[in-house]
Amino acid sequence: MTSPAIWQEVEFGSYGADLPLWVELAEGADPVAELGAGAGRVALHLAGHGHEVVAVERDLELIRALEEHAEQRSVSLSVVAGDLSSPAELSLPVRPALAIGPLHLIQIVDAPDRPGLLTRLGELLAPGGTLALTVVDESTLLDSGAASTRILPDMRELDGWVYSSEPLWVQVGDQALTIRRLRETVSPEGWMERDIHDETLHRVDPNSLEQEAAEAGFRPAGRRQISSGEGEADSTVVLLEVPA
């Protein structure tokens, strides 16, 4: 079975449309916490820009990959093992001035768990701190260009192994979006393994997220757009502020 860290590198490693925004928001906002940091795409980028970063991740294999990547890049950050679906158990070594949830992290959290998570994040953030959460801009999800054009697979070659992940379709349900990918692994000897992977994102629009956050004690602090480019859905970043 292929490591989840490998698939993070294949499917998201080259994505950089959001990085300038995270750097902008982090300016003067240390320490910064990344929620669901994975193998470190954003956390390592911010740490490389000199920010004090706390990376929160629940998967131990991804944590090991993140720590290895940090050592390889000679950057310093703190890594916290934490499950966002169990917010009462979530703790941080510092009170961040900024917490970010890139790549629709908040939509991976089950809808009934969101209020508790938002409340806990409000407790963990410094007074006046900002929470920035990314949601899919559904108006761009199934535009005519993306729907009518076959999207090329994401590919990586690592140590002679070739990994490919091809988006097949997006199913829009009443409560969730399901993204199906065909994952292929080719060994150095030439044998191939194929697998279907489904990712579920719970549907939440910016207005609803702001309302849930208000009930958890946050106040709206604006929105920002991320343009992902041809063939990919754009994103809306909802900014929420803890009262000082």
pLDDT in tens, 90-117: 999 999 999 999 999 999 999 999 999 9
Same domain, 103 and 159: no
Report helix angle 60-73 to 41-48, nearest 10: 30
Same domain, 105 and 150: no
- pLDDT tens digits, one per residue of 33-87: 999 999 999 999 999 999 999 999 999 999 999 999 999 999 999 999 999 999 9
- pLDDT tens digits, one per residue of 61-71: 999 999 999 99
> Which band of pLDDT confidence, cut at 50, 70 and 90, is reported for residue 145?
very low
> Which has the minimum average pLDDT: 45-49, 165-169, 198-202, 221-225?
165-169
DSSP state letters, the chain: ---HHHHHHHHHTT--TTHHHHHHHHTT--SEEEES-TTSHHHHHHHHTT--EEEEE--HHHHHHHHHHHHHHT---EEEE--TTSGGG---SS--SEEEE-TTHHHHS-GGGHHHHHHHHHHHSPTT-EEEEEEE-GGGTT-HHHHHSPPPPEEEEETTEEEEEEEEEEEE-SSEEEEEEEEEEE-TTS-EEEEEEEEEEE---HHHHHHHHHHTT-EEEEEEEE---TTS--EEEEEEE---
Same domain, 84 and 179: no
Q: What is the largest CA-CA distance in the chain?
A: 59
Same domain, 24 and 70: yes
Q: What pLDDT is stored for residue 102 in this prediction?
A: 96
> Which band of pLDDT confidence, cut at 50, 70 and 90, is reported for residue 142?
low
Residues facing residue 158 across a β-bridge: 161
Domain range spanning residue 197? Answer: 142-201
Same domain, 172 and 219: no
> Which band of pLDDT confidence, cut at 50, 70 and 90, is reported for residue 207?
very high
Same domain, 226 and 148: no
Q: What pLDDT is stored for residue 233 in this prediction?
A: 86
Same domain, 22 and 111: yes
Count of domains in the chain? Answer: 2
Q: What pLDDT is stored for residue 146 in this prediction?
A: 42
Same domain, 100 and 132: yes
Same domain, 128 and 147: no
CATH number, position 52: 3.40.50.150
CATH number, position 184: 2.20.25.110
As a whole number of angstroms, the distance between CA 164 and CA 178 comes to 19
Same domain, 21 and 98: yes
As a whole number of angstroms, the distance between CA 40 and CA 62 comes to 8
Same domain, 104 and 197: no
Same domain, 149 and 195: yes
Q: What is the pTM of this model?
A: 0.92
